[in-house]
Amino acid sequence: TDSDLRDRVVAAGMDEREPVCRVMSAPVASIPEDALIYEALLAMQERGVQHLAITDSAGKTTGLVRNKELLQF
């Protein structure tokens, strides 16, 4: 995410040629695609994240949602 890039790469002076797995947040926070908006916002709050991966019934990531998008409703 943007904050991972700022905090873990730029501010830390890390070489931008490092693999992404060295700076990414893990595990990836996700929510089922049929979850309600308030459930997504609650999950973000509980996990301290601003993005959630959206997963289908097979567990495959199908998208990404940001808290800013959800707060528009």
Whether the Cβ atoms of residue 62 and residue 54 lie closer than 8 Å to each other:
yes
DSSP 68: H
Question: What is the torsional sign of CA 31, 35, 51, 44?
Answer: negative
Round to whole Å and give the CA distance between 62 and 46: 22
Round to whole Å and give the CA distance between 24 and 26: 6
What pLDDT, on the 0 to 100 scale, is given for residue 44?
Answer: 94
What pLDDT, on the 0 to 100 scale, is given for residue 73?
Answer: 73
Single pTM value for the model: 0.75
What pLDDT, on the 0 to 100 scale, is given for residue 1?
Answer: 66
pLDDT in tens, 23-58: 777 889 999 999 999 999 999 999 988 999 999 999
Tokens of 13: 């002076």
